[in-house]
Amino acid sequence: MRNKRCFMCLALVMLSALIALAPVLAESLEDGEADIRFMENEWNYVEVSLDVSAGIPEDATGVLADIREAGVLRVATEPYFPPQEFIDPELDGQDSYVGSDMKLARLIAQRMGVALQIVPMDFSEVLNAVADGSCDVAISALSYTPGRASRMTMSKGYYYAGSRAGSGLMIRAADSGHITGIDDLVGRNIGAQSGSLQEALMYENVFHYREFRRMNSVQELYNALMDGTIDAAMVDLGTGHAYIDGNPRCGLMMVPDVHFALEEQFEGDRIAARKGEGQLIAFINGVIDEVLASGQYMEWYEEAAARASTLGL
């Protein structure tokens, strides 16, 4: 009986608190402040989705309202990460930015009922462009990290690499007998893409090497490996294997027994917006739900991988 009474008292207290809080919440919504419907979860990303069938809702606030007013969605990306984003030299202007992420960006703009402007830049500048307001969202094969989630509002995941999820070491195939694990990197030059999850993994797991070089794109890493500038690179497993499969004469390989698996909250590529833009991300989540339910994103991914392979990317 004591427990029952305590539970009833607690319920009454909570109900009273919610009633007292209701006017404050209503006022916050009217003022365009944080909407509790779009709050981030314990990992600092938004899980809720909006119905996108009617476009940007009438009660849109923040950047989502700005996008509707401007009539354009500005997307920051680093277009050198095939098959998600890359440049097709046979196309011109905005059409030249292709890949599964760019297909997703175009669908998001279509569902919003606005034009799309893809803004290319170095990967290290992608999140800064969103934070300073020069772009609305970042769509650039972004992995979740606590640091990114603390600075940005992130979507649910939309691309999962399956058995190739995680990161690993890429080396020259000629060095396979000499580099079989991270302990063999002593006295060698290593590399990772600047600002990436792989750069953080290199810092956390590799302590003995000659020089650590940060590069603006994964293609720079591949080139640096092939020309001997570096001896090993930390790369996304899925992307690394895709490059090797598409370029069988590149002379590169993934070290078989080096695999940095990701915890569940780290899995999946995500889209990022400025901190606090939960409604914008909830709209984007609605589009993500659509492409995941239909299998459309993976179709785009496979088509883009085939095209990237044809281009030797």
Greater model confidence, 10 or 182: 182
Residue 248, both tokens: 């069988």
Element holding 100 (H helix, E strand): helix 100-112
Mean pLDDT of 220-242: 93
**Looking at the predicted structure, is the pLDDT value of residue 36 above 80?**
no
The DSSP output letter for 45 is B
Q: Contact, 222 vs 252, CB < 8 A?
A: yes
pLDDT score for 28: 39
**Looking at the predicted structure, is the pLDDT value of residue 29 above 70?**
no
Q: Which sign, positive or negative, has the C-alpha torsion 276, 108, 97, 271?
A: positive
Query: pLDDT-derived band of residue 44, with 50, 70 and 90 as boundaries?
Result: low
Q: How much helix, strand and coil, in percent to the nearest 5, is found in the chain? A: 45, 20, 35
Mean pLDDT of 277-300: 96
**Looking at the predicted structure, is the pLDDT value of residue 39 above 90?**
no
Residues 6+ apart with CB under 8 A from 2: none
Q: Contact, 178 vs 184, CB < 8 A?
A: yes
**Looking at the predicted structure, is the pLDDT value of residue 16 above 80?**
no
pLDDT in tens, 111-136: 999 999 999 999 889 999 999 999 99
pLDDT in tens, 136-165: 999 999 988 888 888 999 999 999 876 666
The DSSP output letter for 268 is S
pLDDT in tens, 59-87: 999 999 999 999 999 999 999 999 999 99
